[in-house]
Amino acid sequence: MTALTIAKTDDLDRLMRLVADYHGEEGIEQSDDTRRNAILPLLEGSPHGVIYLMGPARAPIGYVVVCFGWSIEFGGMDGFVDEIYVRPAVRGRGIGTEVLHTLPKALAKAGMKAIHLEVGNENPRARKLYEKLGFRAREGYAMMTREL
């Protein structure tokens, strides 16, 4: 079973490298300062989300970020998997599947009513995996974003 550890401020440098790698793969352009300013509050205990390190805390093999919200429709606290990343060298071993199978169960025990994630239209492999794990596209809905 892959260990999940809540990341703390001591993990910032390790996490910055992982997030930069993920952003590079996804084509997300962001300065290190912006990235650091987005990560640090979560490591300091912000009530808005949590970052889990996958694998050994001293040498993590990935991470997952869950941001918290509130939904009238779902009847309480919900969450959004903002980012999930597994190092390329250890992909294909079921680590992401395991994390997305066990983490929602733990979050449900903590009172979360629903968890959401985003998947690219051009990524049918990920979509198939997420569906296997119980995630469903919402008929008639599309995520829309407005940057502020």
Residue pair 103/62 in contact (Cβ under 8 Å)? The answer is no
> Torsion over CA of 9, 11, 17 and 18, rounded to 10 degrees?
-110
Helix 32-43, helix 12-26: angle, nearest 10: 130
CA distances from 130 to 29, 119, 121, 127, 140 (A): 26, 9, 13, 5, 19
pLDDT at 147: 87
pTM of the model: 0.93
Helix (H), strand (E), coil (C) string for 111-122: CCCEEEECCCCC
pLDDT the model gives residue 84: 97
pLDDT tens across the length of the chain (148 residues): 889 999 999 999 999 999 999 999 999 999 999 999 999 999 999 999 999 999 998 999 999 999 999 999 999 999 999 999 999 999 999 999 999 999 999 999 999 999 999 998 888 989 999 999 999 999 888 888 888 9
Query: For position 29, what pLDDT does the model report?
Result: 95
